[in-house]
Chains A and B, each alone.
Chain A
């Protein structure tokens, strides 16, 4: 196709503006990455947030990830949270989604309303906190796992997917003498893998990024997830964790990194796993937005 002069002009400006916008989206993060690589010496002579360091060093990372560091500990907490949390999320969401997808189930509509109502009305922050306190879950790993066990929106999205599975498939399996459990595991589960993968990823990212629940429920520094160690370092500096070995060595380094560089490195450490899988998971999230309607 030949473009006219006007068309070419339009394309040129459209592309130029989008390139600028894209760089603006990216710039804040890139400048944090470059800050994380600046050495104390370079900081003293050039100041921070130069677009790229002349002599990039990994001092900040070494300090944060040093032997026995609280950051490593928090990584394990977060990893446990993502794995255990997502596993249980799916274990609870999948069966209920299946039950709600049974059109002939007695009481299906009131059951759906019972769940739907929780999307519109919440007890609020304080009653939730009191509940977790009364259940003796304060300072427990489970305070991060149990309260967000089922996301009602995602549950209904999963149910919508399952509504589209033809009932004849199940009926045929039952004719062949399969028990309901076998039908669920051998017929429904394999057919639902796309939606399970999608929603599993949503739960996993939710767990990786969650921080507020741990902020109010967890006191013990050793039980804090990565996001909260990051928050602590951002707001009060890395020094507060000097009781935990690894960070204590910061003053002994020949060239201790500047405080801003430590903070930046901690941001990168917290985001890196998301960044690494992001290109692969992105399309699942985009697809999920389209699964919008949740009418019963």
Chain B
């Protein structure tokens, strides 16, 4: 790369002949930079944003290795006095919360995957079989709608459905002769509520990618299959599904890559101490222990632990995607 060439020039350890080409490469680079100075000027301010709001927090994770005191100045963050090494990580791994939040994160993600992943595919298959355009568009529009609700609104609607003070579900329970129930504080039901809400909010939206893949299928394939006597189910099974299998596999891989995001905002808005045992995930724990409890260093350590795990998972997901002949994310 030309940039390292420039450094080598400064150190002066390269043989004379290559130093000459390096110098020429350096000059050429400088000429290009001067030519495009307008472009660099345009990029300067947006890049400054990335430095300040994306990379500075990455530098800031050093507080995970310190006993950070919010009342000390910034220079305290870069002195060794408060260095404690891996203390906060060890505390986290040894705490009773560790296995609880890890288990909840993985289990909630897995439930959302197992129950939420097939549904958009089925929905897309059904919508794809509709012959009336207007009806097709109406179904699609309505099924995407909950995706556009903010998480506060969506959680508010779920609360309204489930409240013991006359929520729709409790009305149904009472009508069937039961007693009104506080669903949201019941640990045996909480995860099911999360999964159901996730399906309601995202199933329609997640079906778009499959509908797009289906739109590219050659209609002649269906005609040929019909000619061979395949019924509608057989055509779905032997023509439509194989044609979208790639989209299915890729979506699945990246869902697994993003496993550690079990739904922070959703859980934060719906959970309560009575269901912490089944719903406290890494993110909610960082929020409560780190931010609300003002243990900044500890929270940063737990957060860093999650960021690194997530990076590894995503990297592996991308590798698998590439193995399958897909371009992958990068």
Interface positions of A (Cβ within 8 A of B): 6-7, 10-11, 14-15, 17-18, 21-22, 24-29, 31-32, 35, 47-49, 92-93, 95-96, 98-100, 102, 104-107, 110-111, 114-116, 118, 120-131, 133-134, 146-147, 149-150, 180-181, 184, 205, 208-212, 216, 227-228, 230-231, 234, 259-260, 263-264, 266-267, 270-271, 274, 278-279, 282, 285-286, 289-290, 293-295
Contact = CB atoms under 8 A, between A and B. Distances in A.
Given A127-B60, A134-B74, A211-B151, A118 B269 contact: no
Nearest to A206: B150
Nearest to B31: A106
Contact of A289 (B150, B209, B306): B209
Contact of A48 (B148, B166, B286): B166
Given A31-B168, A146-B53, A227-B152, A267 B157 contact: yes
Contacts of B189: none
B249 interface: no
B303 A126 contact: yes
B70 A32 contact: no
A147 B52 CA distance: 9
A49 B167 contact: yes
A273 B74 CA distance: 43
A113 to B, nearest CB: 9
B39 to A, nearest CB: 5
Interface of B is mostly: helix
Given A126-B296, A230-B153, 17 more contacts: A6-B231, A21-B139, A25-B145, A31-B160, A32-B160, A92-B45, A96-B47, A123-B307, A125-B287, A125-B299, A125-B303, A128-B60, A209-B151, A228-B152, A230-B156, A231-B152, A260-B163
Given A18-B126, A131-B53, A212 B286 contact: no
B150 A35 contact: no
Contacts, number: 254
Interface string B125-143: 0110111000100110111
A32 B48 CA distance: 45
A38 to B, nearest CB: 10
Contacts of A22: 138-139, 142-143
Interface in B44-97: 45-47, 49-50, 52-61, 63, 68, 70, 74
Nearest to A133: B70
A295 B233 CA distance: 37
A105 to B, nearest CB: 6
Contacts of A93: 46
Interface residues of B, number: 93
B166 A25 contact: no
B286 A126 contact: yes
Interface of B: 2-3, 29, 32-33, 36, 38-40, 42-43, 45-47, 49-50, 52-61, 63, 68, 70, 74, 123, 126-127, 129-131, 135, 138-139, 141-146, 148-153, 155-161, 163, 165-168, 171, 200, 204, 208-209, 212, 231-233, 265, 268-269, 283, 286-287, 290-291, 296, 299-300, 303-304, 306-307, 311, 314-315, 327, 329-330
Contacts of A289: 208-209, 212
B65 to A, nearest CB: 12
A104 B35 CA distance: 11
Contacts of B269: 231
20 contacts: A7-B231, A18-B126, A18-B130, A27-B168, A28-B160, A28-B200, A99-B43, A106-B2, A111-B43, A124-B57, A125-B299, A126-B296, A131-B52, A150-B46, A180-B38, A180-B39, A211-B150, A267-B156, A270-B152, A285-B144
Contacts of B168: 27-28, 31, 49
B46 A130 contact: no
B153 A107 contact: no
A216 B150 CA distance: 17
Among B3, B32, B61, B311, max chain A CB count under 10 A is at B61
A225 B281 CA distance: 27
A49 B57 contact: no
A286 B208 contact: yes
Contacts of A133: 70
Contact of A126 (B151, B290, B330): B290
B303 A267 contact: no
Given A49-B166, A126-B291, A234-B159, A205 B299 contact: no
A128 B59 CA distance: 10
Nearest to B149: A271
Contacts of A111: 43, 47
Contact of A125 (B40, B233, B291, B327): B291
